[in-house]
Structures are given as C-alpha cells and as structure tokens.
Amino acid sequence: MLLDNKKDQELDFFKAALKADKEIEIRDGEVERFEYSLKSPTIYREILGDLIDILEVKIRDEIGVISSPEAESIAGAGCVELVKGKEVFKLPRNHFGVKAQMDMEVAMWQLAQSQTLKKIVMESKVENSGIVYFAREGGITQWQKAVYLSSGVSLPTTLVCIHHTKAENSFSRIAEVVNGVNLEGFPLDNLENLYLCDPVASGMQQVAMIEKLLTMGAKPRRVIVIAPMGTNFGLKTVSIFCKSKGIEFKAGVCASLLDNVLPLRYFSPYSRDDKQCADLEIKRAVAEVFGENLHKFCIRCNWTGSFWASEELALNDSDKELKDLDLCRKELEEKEEEFMGYLVKKEGIKDKLLPYSTRAEML
C-alpha cells in the first residue's frame, strides 16, 4: 500500500493502515479453533431446538469468527432458502431483507456467546459499558438485544452518523463524524467496554469514532468491534490504532474474516485463507463449486441495501458490480443451483446452511 502524500502519514489512521499492511499475514500460531454447543434462549428454541452447534476460530487472541447457519448466511458461504416452497442455495449477497435481518439477530446472540467475547459480555454492566451503532448498518446487529439475551443487562446505547468524504489520499476518502455524538447515560468516568457496531472494510470509520471519543475525554479501556462483515486488514488497522492509544482491542465477525481489494480497501470478498474461516468443511465445499470467482465479488455488494432496501435495488447494484468483474447474475445463479445439487448429496453440510429464517418457514 502506498501513501500518496506526507499529509497521509501525519494522520493516525494512515499510520495504522501502513503498519497493518506490513503485518496482515496471519501466522499458524495466531489461530485457535473451538467447537461447542450453545443452549438456545427461549425466543429461538422453538425454531432452532435446544442446542446450537458453533465452530469458532480465534485470531491473534483478538478476533472471534464464528460459524453457524445464521453466521454463514450473513458473511460466509451463504444459506439454503425456501423459494416458492423449494430449497434454493443463496450466496450472502442474494440473502435479502427481513430474512437476513432475522438471521443477523440470531448470529449476533451467538457471537455474544463466543469464546472470544462471552467473558467480556458477561462483565459488561450499565456502570462500565456502552454500545455505539454506526448509521445505517450498525443498528442491524441489535447488539444491545444480544447482550441482554446473554446477561439480562440493557447497556446504554447510542447512534452516530459517520460518512466518507472524497479526499486526495491512498483511499480516496476520509471518514467524518457528523453532528457530534450523544453519550447520554454512558459511564464516561468508568468506560471499561465500548462496543462499536458496524461492518468493517478499511477500519477508517471505527478509527474516526475512537478519535472523536478521545477528544471528548471518553477513553475506553477496551474497544470491542462488532462487525458481522469484517476484513482482516480493517480490523488489524483498528487494533494497531487502539494499541497506539493504550486501548485493548477485541472483535467479533461472522463466518469468514474477509479479504479486501487494493487500492481502496473497500471491496471485501470471501477469504482465500483457511485461517480466516471458522468452518473449513463449508469453505472447501463452496470453493470447490464456485472456484476463483468466490474471491472476486464482494460478500454482500451493497451491504446496507441487502438488509434494508428492496430486493430489486440490491440486485441492480449487484449486477453493476458483477459487470465490472466480467461476471453476471445468471452465471452466479447457475453456480448456486449447482451447489444446491451438491448439498443434496451432502446432508451434513446442508444442515450447516439452514438458518433460522429458513427453519421458521419450514414449520
């Protein structure tokens, strides 16, 4: 990664990003894997049953990546949906709307129970913790609810608006916090745990948010980034920045710690690296069918649109992106159909890709 001018180098984000670019490789000794079952909370039990099987990979003792049917539907291999009563495989970029929101909610509760985050979640109290949702995608995590279902505690929560502005630097943008930050009810004199909820591509917005808090005298002891879709580079950048300020860093991600594409570090495809994926059986199965194309397209294209906009808008944006990659919707749909045929023969893998939203329809 090249910095375009000396001004870039004077900014904390760009310093962290440059260092992250040099340290991005994940070594074998930085990976720890877990397999366990979670007892379903009452509100999900009728659909999911008593126990939910989870695979988790902890990376650098900082980032927890979980695999479950719900997590895979959000930012992993994809999921099996019911379309007009027929089981159909869908990539995450084609898993839309309220169905995707339902699966996000369940995946976030699972993430709150992960080996990486559970202890922190259980120690988070009104007196020492708070949650910040970034507009517009942060609220989709419903992290406050995930914490409540885990511990019975309703943490103080706020919403901030951060947007990108065009700039002459190596990322062609800077992040700015708009209209200040309302931290009503936050324990600013004892802020042990600060959860920042939003997808992470470059990490620029998360760094901007932490910088803003520091100027307000609200320095947390620990920052926990809740990034359903999160990249290796972006989270490494935030980690380096936090450490430079004496702040501990943790993060939670769904299914796969994503790659991203130079030079802008905005476009975030499914990872090539086994070390970044929680379920290697699923990763290898989907890679066998989709091949190299799996690592070309962004995991969800229009991230916000795939959850909150119309299916038509999300598909149109997807078509534009695929065209730029010399791909098309029909080609991906044919591969989805091929993978569904593969799953029919591999019942164990299919069960790993039947998320909450689909199981609810099957009742």
CATH number of the domain bearing residue 231: 3.40.50
Which of 117-131, 175-189, 262-276, 310-324 is least confident? 262-276
The CA distance from 123 to 113, in Å, is 12
**250 and 146 belong to one structural domain:** yes
Let me know if residue 50 belongs to a domain.
Answer: no
Q: Does the residue 263 lie in any domain?
A: no
Regarding whether 172 and 138 lie in a shared domain, the answer is yes
| pLDDT at site 168 | 78
Antiparallel, parallel or unpaired: β 63-67 and 51-59:
antiparallel
On whether both 63 and 189 belong to a single domain, the answer is no
SS3 339: helix
Length of the chain in residues, anyone? Answer: 363
Cβ atoms of 213 and 187 within 8 Å: the answer is no
- Report the C-alpha gap between 199 and 202 in whole angstroms: 10
**259 in any annotated domain:** no
Shared domain for 244 and 144, answered yes or no, is yes
> Do residues 191 and 286 both lie within one domain?
no
Q: At what angle do helices 232-244 and 204-215 cross, to 10 degrees?
A: 20
Statement: the pTM of the whole predicted model exceeds 0.85: yes
Across the range 40-57, mean pLDDT stands at 97
- State yes or no: pLDDT of 226 exceeds 90: yes
Helix (H) or strand (E) holding 12: helix 12-23
pLDDT, tens only, 154-179? 999 999 998 878 877 777 788 888 88
pLDDT at residue 264 in the model: 63
29 and 167 housed in the same domain = yes
Residues 18/1, Cβ–Cβ less than 8 Å? yes
Which structural domain, as residue segments, surrounds residue 163? 6-45+109-254
Q: Which of 196, 219, 254 is the last residue of a domain?
A: 254
The answer to whether 4 and 167 are in contact (CB under 8 A) is no
Answer whether residue 143 is part of any domain: yes
Tell me, yes or no, whether 232 and 153 share the same domain: yes
Residue 4's pLDDT is what?
43
The one-letter code for the residue type at 215 is T
Side-chain half-sphere of 181: how many Cα atoms within 13 Å? 27
Q: Tell me whether residue 232 is in a domain.
A: yes
Sequence-distant (≥ 6) Cβ neighbours of residue 145 within 8 angstroms: 105, 108, 109
Q: Both tokens of residue 49? A: 């049953």
Same domain, 295 and 352: yes
Question: Last residue of a domain, which of 205, 229, 254?
Answer: 254
Tell me whether residue 332 is in a domain. Answer: yes
Assess if residue 172 is contained within a domain. Answer: yes
pLDDT of residue 8: 45
- pLDDT at site 9: 39
In the prediction, which pLDDT does 208 show? 93
Say yes or no: 275 and 232 in one domain: no
DSSP label of 24: -
Total domains in the fold of the chain: 2
Average pLDDT over residues 216-235: 96
Q: Where is the domain boundary, 222, 254, 286?
A: 254
Q: 145 with 18, same domain?
A: yes
Which tens digit of pLDDT belongs to each residue from 94-134? 999 999 999 999 999 999 999 999 999 999 999 999 999 99
Distance of CA 5 to the CA centre of its chain: 31
Residue 219 maps to a domain: yes
- Given a cut of 80, whether residue 263 has pLDDT beyond it is no
CA 307 from centre of chain: 13
Question: What pLDDT, on a 0 to 100 scale, did the predictor assign at position 266?
Answer: 66
Residues 86 and 125 in one domain: no
The 10 Å Cβ neighbour count of residue 280 is: 14
Considering the domain architecture, whether residues 184 and 120 belong to the same structural domain is answered as yes
